[in-house]
Amino acid sequence: MSQKINDVRDRLIVALDVPTVWDAYHLVSTLGDGVTFYKIGYRLAFAGGLDLARQLVAEGKKVFLDLKLHDIGNTVTEGVESLTKLGVTFLTVHAYPQTMRGAVEGRGDAALKLLAVTALTSYDDTDLRDAGYGLAVRDLVRLRAEQARSAGIDGIVCSAAETAIVRDVIGPDMVIVTPGIRPSGSAAGDQKRTLTPAEAIRIGADHLVVGRPIIRAADPRAAAGAVMDEIVAAS
């Protein structure tokens, strides 16, 4: 197991990709003590999710605030300064150098860990070309990982397919958080670069973000338990 993680349950981050705070809290209650870490993204954050983040932290849960901040450096600095007051564990920013430097300045001495998003897991090389990039996904991920390390970022968000590349760039001390995880038999959905939980852990991911395969399961608690069993077996 990674030296950065004291409780193996923290390796699983369940994405609260639901429309309301009530839905989110009902899911948290259903999952119980088997899940310790939750991700709040745009949809929920803009529907009362920041207050929910405070509540979850007060109840001893860890929270990953997935806002993927990107703006001029000063605006990012001010935004991150405000978000440090929530007590969340992780916050994402896009891996543009100016954005990352602004986020590090805004974080200051707070315990908040900043994660840089390299390339969205719904992107492939064609999507990058359509967006005007002249790099393949793997090359862009490597470049942004190098820039994140230099900027003082704490970790990287990347697909499991790029985990080995990122680990080679950032070394053993920075965190790797991997979305787009699909347990065996799950539909890929809109994700284009996916691996199973066991595969992702074996190649060096520290935390796995799992949403639909758990929250849309007939029995979310059992689905989360199955993912956790796979993580433990591979750790």
Listed as own residue / partner, the contacts of 148-153 with beta carbons closer than 8 Å and 24 or more positions apart are 148/95, 148/100, 148/116, 148/118, 148/174, 149/174, 151/97, 151/100, 151/101, 151/104, 151/116, 152/100, 152/104, 153/93, 153/95, 153/100, 153/103, 153/104, 153/114, 153/115, 153/116
The tokens describing 103, both together, are: 């986020």
Query: 20 φ, ψ to 5°?
Result: -130, 160
Tell me if residue 4 is catalytic. no
CA-based angle 46:50:56, to the nearest 5? 135
> Up-side HSE of residue 29: CA atoms within 13 Å toward CB?
7
* In contact, 201 and 3? CB cutoff 8 Å: no
Give me the residue label for tokens 């038999």: 185
Measured CA to CA, the distance from residue 56 to residue 213 in angstroms comes to: 22
Active-site residue (options: 39, 62, 68, 113): 68
Give me the residue label for tokens 């942004």: 144
> Up-side HSE of residue 41: CA atoms within 13 Å toward CB?
12
Q: Which residues are catalytic?
A: 68
